[in-house]
Structure 1
């Protein structure tokens, strides 16, 4: 005897509900029950798909987080600046404060941790592509440590937003991109 047919857009509704709750309430207060209610679904619908809040939120981020643009301006310096702008849009969102709670939960949820890392790598691919183009154009002598390059761009934004509680101004974003460019090209330290 066949069961009730699965609702084809249920997962999409659940992810949209999780994103809506994340952006309106933050990670810490989001519950799987709230997600089910918001999506007009049953709690069991959520638990069948996601074993934890961290896994659900990671999938919601992967689905709804604004993408990092794939930009080829012809120059590493301006490619880095475009990349930083897209990162800043995410780090300036009010829901980002809850990211600390998600990161803490990832330590205890291997599946969510793997999914989060996969999403982060996918979001970092435009940077990898920009650096690869810069190497081909001769702007960079040798391929740098790509993880360090990403850390040089996103680390300051995260620190300024979460710990310094400061806005990500255009001048600050210029300085971050310029500093990373100087390190990658070996043209000296930013002043």
Structure 2
């Protein structure tokens, strides 16, 4: 005998409540009990859907993080600049404050990690597409290690947010973009 079907409205309300709590107080302050209480639901409603906080938050990110636009400016440098600018705006959001705790919890929850990795891959697709266009246009000779390119672009933003507590300046974003562009095209970086 099958159980009751899930109520999609309740699930959406729980996700929206978790997003609100996450953006207001960060990952470390969010609890599943809090989500249930604020969504006017039972704790069992939450625990039936998500075994733990990491799994819930992975689904919340999957639901509420806006997609990264795929900018096609006609130039690899300008595509990279647009991608980095969009990433910088995302890294300047309050939900990032508790990201270290979330990433640590992912190691204990393979399902949440799969959900999050799929989200990261989707959010990285615009840079993959920009590089493919650059190869077709002849701006670069071959497709590089795409994971490394993503790390070069997003790593400094993540580091600044997590350890510096402040966003990068437009000039610093330009250095990040030009440095990645130089590595991809083997052209000198000029100030």
Q: What TM-score comes out, normalization by structure 2 length?
A: 0.94
SS in 2 for 1:113: helix
SS in 1 for 2:8: coil
Instruction: Provide the residue aligned with 1:94 in structure 2.
Output: 94
Tell me the C-alpha RMSD between the 2 structures.
1.7
Decide whether the 8 Å contact of 1:15 with 1:60 is kept in 2. yes
Gap change, CA 1:35 and 1:73, over 3 Å in 2? same
- 1:138-191 Cα offsets, whole Å, 9 max, x none, are 111110000000000000101111112232211111111111111111113566
Runs of 4+ in 1 over 3 A off after TM superposition: 1-6, 188-191
> Where does 1:5-84 land on structure 2 (aligned, <5 Å)?
6-84=6-84
The offset of 1:7, in angstroms, is 2.7
Decide whether the 8 Å contact of 1:67 with 1:86 is kept in 2. no
Instruction: Provide the residue aligned with 2:159 in structure 1.
Output: 159
The offset of 1:8, in angstroms, is 2.8
Gap change, CA 1:8 and 1:167, over 3 Å in 2? closer
| Unmatched tracts of structure 2, length 5 or more | none
| Unmatched tracts of structure 1, length 5 or more | none
Decide whether the 8 Å contact of 2:88 with 2:168 is kept in 1. yes
Gap change, CA 1:188 and 1:96, over 3 Å in 2? same
SS in 2 for 1:9: helix
Instruction: Provide the residue aligned with 1:180 in structure 2.
Output: 180
Task: Tell which deviates more after alignment, 24-33 or 87-96.
Answer: 87-96
Q: What TM-score comes out, normalization by structure 1 length?
A: 0.94
Task: Tell which deviates more after alignment, 144-153 or 64-73.
Answer: 64-73
Query: How many Å separate the matches in 2 of 1:26 and 1:46?
Result: 19
